[in-house]
Every structure is written in C-alpha cells, then in structure tokens.
C-alpha cells in the first residue's frame, strides 16, 4: 500500500509544543522567586538553604528553556547523570576553598553564628549548584544562533610531549601560587584546566584542547562567556543578601572599581573558571563511570532552535 505523502507532516514533533511550558521551568520559576525573596530578606542560621533553592530553581529554569528550544537537555539525558553533576560540584568547589585558605582572596560573613558541622553541610549544599549552573548556562548559550556551527579557526598543535608539558606547567602554577599567594593568586582559576584538560585530551575525553586541535573554537568561547555570565549572577545575588555572603580581599590596585561586591578586574577570573570546571568534570566522571556516556558534552552544537 503506498505511503500517505501527508503522514510525515502530520506527525507530532518530538520536542515540546511551542505553547506548552515544561513543568521543570514552571517549578524553577516558583522556587527561584520564593528563594530569592527569602535570600535577600531573611537572616537565619541556615540562609544557605535559600541560596541552594535560588540556584536550583535557576538550573531548572534554564534546563526547561533548553528543553523547549532543542527538545534535549541535561535532565532529559538521565536523572542519574543530572544528580551526578550536583554531587561532583561539592568537592570541585571545596578544592577552591582549600586553595583560599592560603590565598585569603575571599571570606564569608555570617550574621548568625554556626557550628562547624552546620557550616560544612550547609556550604556543601550551596557548592552543589556550581557545576549545574555553569553547564546549564552553557547549554542555553549553545542553543542560540551565536554559537551555531563549530567556529572554525586555526588548529593548535597537539603532541604527547606538548600535552605533558602543559600538565607540568599547570602543576607548577599550583605550587607557585601557594608559595606566592599575593602575587600569583589569579592562577587559582587557571591551573585546573592546565593540569586536567591535556589529560582528558590524551585519553580521548571531551576537552578544550581536543577541539582547538581540530580547529573548532566554539567550546572555548562558549565556556568563557558562560563563566562570565554566571559570575555576574553570583555577584548580583550576593550583593543585597541579608544573610551569609562573601567579600573579596584583593590587592589595592585591583580593588576598584566595583560591580556589586566584586572588584571589576576580578571578573576576569570567571573567564577561565568555566573551562576548569569542564575539565574537572570530565576527569571525575571518567573515574566514576568510565564506560557510561556523560550527560555533559558541550562539543556538539545544540539542536535546532525555535
């Protein structure tokens, strides 16, 4: 029997209908709205819960927008992988806190006293949102017209010897940063990507170097813009909170002018930070589930946009 030529056009699209909002987006809007109001007004011993709600809501909003635009998102690729990003985010940011014990670049203001256990647990809850916020933002930006295609450019050389040299350079940057914290503190945002991205490239995992070695510069610029965008949101929500918040302690020549509580030059640190986050995630996921497909791989351009 001949196939009906109109059958293909009558098929319901796989993605969400244009007039229907994903439930996660609606839930995220509600969670963000409530948490935002409380985070800026309530002063309690557990204000961090509102911070977690604020950024978890943001993650759901952006995931819903990505799903609506492309029909595919981080949550669509599996709940286990989605939760894993939150889990890996906790040790990821605690590593930066460990570095800061030496650098003293930022400190936290606690209007209400906390015991040590509460501090660790509540801050870990907040830190769990760092990687999800970055990767969801990257996927949303990647679904726009700006990041269509691979952003072809020159191919950077990649050899095993050069790759190992960059990894050693990253380790040296870490050591020098700890030895000379007031002079070399910006290296805290750079050394993770220098150490781990070449390792990921050699292992055949998603990596920045692997992309630029093929002349594809999209991932590099996507992550740079992602870091800066999330940084603006972190600092914006940190500016007017009445509860726990952070302050910066940079050298005098870098301390002005300010945008929110962050000195303006400090925003440059967010540019490589997202690349470090991506490299750390790919390394950690490979160690935990080497045979499983990772839910976060920003190399492939997002699907068609609406």
Does residue 10 carry a pLDDT above 80? no
Is there a domain that residue 175 lies in?
A: no
Report the distance separating Cα 32 and Cα 51, nearest Å. Answer: 9
- The pLDDT, as a whole number, for residue 298 is 84
Is there a domain that residue 10 lies in?
A: no
Residue % of the chain over a pLDDT of 90: 64
Taking phi over 0 as left and psi of -120 to 50 as alpha, with beta for the rest, 149 belongs to left
Looking at residues 169-194, what average pLDDT do you find? 95
Report which DSSP code applies to 249. Answer: -
What residues contact residue 119 under an 8 Å CB cut-off, 6+ apart?
Answer: none
Does residue 203 carry a pLDDT above 70? yes
Of the listed ranges 127-136, 208-217, 252-261, the least confidently predicted one is 252-261
- The pLDDT, as a whole number, for residue 158 is 87
Of the listed ranges 7-21, 138-152, 214-228, the least confidently predicted one is 7-21
Which domain does 129 fall in, by range? 22-152+212-288
Of the listed ranges 17-31, 64-78, 269-283, the least confidently predicted one is 17-31
- Tokens representing residue 215 in the block: 């002349």
Residue % of the chain over a pLDDT of 70: 90
pLDDT in tens, 43-94: 888 889 999 999 999 999 999 999 999 889 999 998 988 999 999 999 999 9
- The pLDDT, as a whole number, for residue 300 is 59
Is there a domain that residue 204 lies in?
A: no
Greater model confidence, 216 or 296: 216
- What DSSP string describes 33-86? HHHHHHHHH---TTTHHHHHHHHHHHHHHHHHHHHHHHS--TTTT-HHHHHHHH
Is there a domain that residue 262 lies in?
A: yes
Report the distance separating Cα 271 and Cα 234, nearest Å. Answer: 14
- The pLDDT, as a whole number, for residue 14 is 44
Task: Calculate the average pLDDT of the chain.
Answer: 87
- The pLDDT, as a whole number, for residue 178 is 95
- The pLDDT, as a whole number, for residue 181 is 93
Confidence of residue 250 (pLDDT cuts 50, 70, 90): confident
Predicted TM-score (pTM) of this structure: 0.88
Looking at residues 167-188, what average pLDDT do you find? 95
Of the listed ranges 68-72, 172-176, 191-195, 226-230, the least confidently predicted one is 68-72
Does residue 305 carry a pLDDT above 60? no
- The pLDDT, as a whole number, for residue 292 is 61
Q: How many domains does the chain have?
A: 1
């Amino acid at each position: 029997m001949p196939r009906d030529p109109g059958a293909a056009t009558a098929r319901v699209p796989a993605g969400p209908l244009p007039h229907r909002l994903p439930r996660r987006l609606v839930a995220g809007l509600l969670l963000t709205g409530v948490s935002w109001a409380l985070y800026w007004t309530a002063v309690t011993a557990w204000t961090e819960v509102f911070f977690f709600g604020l950024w978890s809501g943001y993650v759901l909003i952006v995931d819903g927008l990505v799903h609506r635009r492309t029909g595919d998102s981080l949550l669509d690729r599996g709940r286990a992988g989605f939760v894993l990003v939150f889990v890996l985010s906790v040790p990821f940011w605690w590593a930066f806190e460990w570095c800061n014990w030496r650098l003293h670049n930022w400190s936290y203001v606690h209007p209400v006293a906390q015991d040590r256990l509460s501090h660790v647990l509540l801050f870990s809850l907040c830190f769990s949102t760092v990687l999800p916020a970055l990767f969801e933002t990257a996927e949303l930006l990647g679904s726009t017209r700006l990041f269509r295609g691979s952003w072809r450019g020159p191919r950077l050389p990649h050899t095993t010897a050069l790759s190992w040299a960059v990894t050693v350079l990253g380790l040296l940057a870490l050591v020098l940063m700890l030895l000379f914290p007031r002079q070399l503190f910006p290296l805290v945002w750079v050394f993770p990507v220098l150490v781990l991205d070449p390792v990921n490239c050699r292992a055949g995992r998603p990596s920045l170097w692997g992309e630029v070695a093929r002349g594809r510069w999209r991932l590099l610029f996507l992550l740079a813009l992602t870091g800066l965008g999330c940084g603006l949101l972190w600092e914006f929500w940190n500016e007017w909170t009445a509860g726990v918040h952070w302050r910066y302690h940079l050298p005098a020549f870098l301390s002005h002018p300010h945008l929110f509580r962050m000195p303006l030059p400090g925003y440059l640190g967010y540019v490589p930070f997202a690349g470090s986050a991506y490299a750390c995630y790919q390394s950690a996921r490979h160690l935990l589930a080497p045979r499983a497909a990772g839910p976060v791989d920003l190399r492939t351009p997002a699907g068609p946009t609406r």
